[in-house]
Amino acid sequence: MTLKNIEYEILKEYDIPVEKRIENWEVGIGLNEVDGLNPSKYLIELTKDSIEGRKTFDEIEKELKNYYNKQSKDSINYSEMECDLVSTRIAKMLEDRTFVFSPIQLKSIHRKLFSELLLDERDNSIGEYRRYNISKKEPILNGDTVIYGEYTTIDEFLKYDFENESGKNYAEMSLEKQIKNLVKFTSAIWQIHPFVEGNTRTVAVFIQKYLLSMGYDVNNDLFKENSVYFRNALVASNYSNIPKRISPNFSYLEQFFLKLLYKRDIELEKIQIFK
């Protein structure tokens, strides 16, 4: 066989059904709710051009940048601007079928999602691991924080988690074991919190692309409508307070993944950490 006999398909932006494109836009916008961000009316109008095939994602991002560049710095709604740009990038990334299971892919997703967005005035290393330790007050923990990974160990722990996960054969696992393994891996890389900001959105996009690469039929309604639940379930799976008799609880995240992949009709249990 010569190289001339090998044919490759050039992936085009409009090769997916309209319904799937609508879903990807809804997921992109819905995931920003984890940080309390809502889109502008202008983005909602632009999504129609994308859905109906009149404009590419890159063209929409260019129009968004022009829209915000024309405004004075004092008049810009920076929360809407972040939501608009990140939503567009998430929708584009979910449509893109390329994927490599690697921490490099995690970095790449973060860089593509948040490029040119100043997420933290102390550190604008988009697509790079944080260079200091962090904490974050969680409403669901009554203001307490999850203990995140130590910044000098991020590389090592991600390498360990990815190598451990890559050695698993999901095709030979029971449904229950698939869910438990996916939950443990997702929880672990989120707890490391490799970036200063945008970790939940980055992990959510990475996990969706990982699941799609394995052939799972992902119920994107969950990320569209329950992104805050997803974050709180991650918090519950990583929070421990022994004097208050609280230990990490993976059950909420397991329910989320079960509904995400197999049983769409189940009701997600309300997350209760402090009783």
| Domain ranges, ordered by start, for the chain | 12-96, 99-275
The b/e string for 240-262 (b: 16+ C-beta within 10 A; e otherwise) is eeeeeebeebbebbbbbbbbbbe
* pLDDT at res. 8: 43
Nearest to 109 by CA among 132, 134, 89: 89
Give this prediction's pTM. Answer: 0.91
Q: Phi and psi of 234, rounded to 5°?
A: -65, -40
Residue 191 DSSP symbol: H
Q: Are the beta carbons of 117 and 126 closer than 8 angstroms?
A: yes
* pLDDT at res. 155: 96
d(C-alpha 199, C-alpha 171), whole Å? 29
* pLDDT at res. 206: 97
Per the structure block, which two tokens stand in for 11?
A: 């992936």
What is the CATH class of 99-275? Answer: mainly alpha
* pLDDT at res. 11: 47
* pLDDT at res. 87: 97
Per the structure block, which two tokens stand in for 39?
A: 């889109």
Say what the alpha-carbon torsion angle 147, 241, 228, 217 is, to the nearest 10 degrees.
80
Segment holding 259, helix H or strand E: helix 251-261
Pick out the chain residues at pLDDT < 50: 1-6, 8, 10-11
